[in-house]
Amino acid sequence: MFDAKRTVPRSPLHDERFEHDNCGIGACVNIKGAKSRSTVENALKIVENLEHRAGKDAEGKTGDGVGILTQIPHDFFKKVTKPLGIGLGGEREYGVGMFFFPQDELKRNQAKKMFEIIVEKEGMTFLGWREVPCNPSVLGERAVECMPCIMQGFVKKPAGVPKGIDFDRKLYIARRVFEQSSDNTYVASLSSRTIVYKGMFLVGQLRTFFTDLQSPDYTSAIAIVHSRFSTNTNPSWERAHPNRFIVHNGEINTIRGNYDKMLAREENMQSEHLRDQLYKVLPAIHPDGSDSAMLDNTLEFLVMSGMDLPLAVMITIPEPWANNKTMSQTKRDFYQYYATMM
């Protein structure tokens, strides 16, 4: 970008004073697992200080994307859903979905009804919808033009399903069936454990757009934030981070080959956890997603299929091992074994 005030750089090729690129990532975690308001506040402060790691358009009011992932704030949701007649039950007894619906009322109602039907068919109970309070006045013109209708859907855990990953696996199956049935709605998150708030924001707009994030009752033991600097894909509401599992900075240059190999192997895939439900979640990767979204799809699929998260991360993002003479043989054998599958 041209800057008339720019002085002669100290280097003919680069001047670090004018650096403004790459995504920004931050996290705030209570290592004892204690939920607090300060964890969320500190994470929001982190992302608000990442302006130098966030992209924006020429008007300067529409960002490439900013978001936050937290644990589900149970006390907050108990409070805001009570006037809606939604009985949530205990913590982790329900799942929360963050939906980006079309603004067209007819299409939105069709998508909502489709999700409700799918939830019931998957053996769960749909509890109700909540329209997420938003403040579009803080956004730039481009962000407002493509802004979705943002709603939260609540799903009750079946009595015979344990809390945690088992319930999240049922929510995952329901979401994948819904995604393949409705191409005009994006599900930012659907889980009994975590939730994602994100959009086409500047770093200072996340907190002011989503008034939920301003509530003293909104607490969490973890908070992961991301400010996007778009490089190989155009900005959009759904391409903002966090994704459902990851935040990411950089480009995956082998993404097309990775996608093709995953697709080719799906005919031979098996899972002792998904079993006869496996076909409902395939293809595991959305072909129109960004490279980060495809990695997120892959990690989510592996974890929901029964793999531990650390193992899934190690085999999807391996160290440079082939010619690494300093690596132990055991570790090299590990990576070589999984290289045949991933």
Residue 143 phi/psi, 5-degree rounding, is -65, -40
- pTM over the 0.85 mark: yes
Q: Which helix (H) or strand (E) holds 314?
A: helix 309-316
Question: Span 329-338, mean pLDDT?
Answer: 94
What confidence score (pLDDT) does residue 5 get? 37
Alpha helix segments (H runs only) across 228-290: 255-265, 278-281
> Distance between CA atoms of 292 and 179, rounded to whole angstroms?
18
Give yes or no: 23 in active site. yes
Cα 301 from Cα 30, distance rounded (Å): 27
Query: How high is the pLDDT of residue 15?
Result: 52
Number of H helices and number of E strands within the chain?
11, 8
Give the distance from CA 115 to its chain's centroid. Answer: 19
pLDDT digits (tens, 9 = 90+) for 25-43: 889 999 999 999 999 999 9
Q: How do residues 238-262 score in pLDDT, each as one tens digit?
A: 988 899 998 877 677 778 888 898 8
Of the listed 23, 28, 134, 146, which one is catalytic? 23
Domains of the chain: 18-250 (3.60.20.10), 251-342 (no CATH)
128, two tokens: 């109700």
- C-alpha pair distances (Å), 154 with each of 21, 26, 87, 165, 329: 38, 28, 10, 17, 48
Contact between 150 and 111 under an 8 Å Cβ cutoff? The reply is no
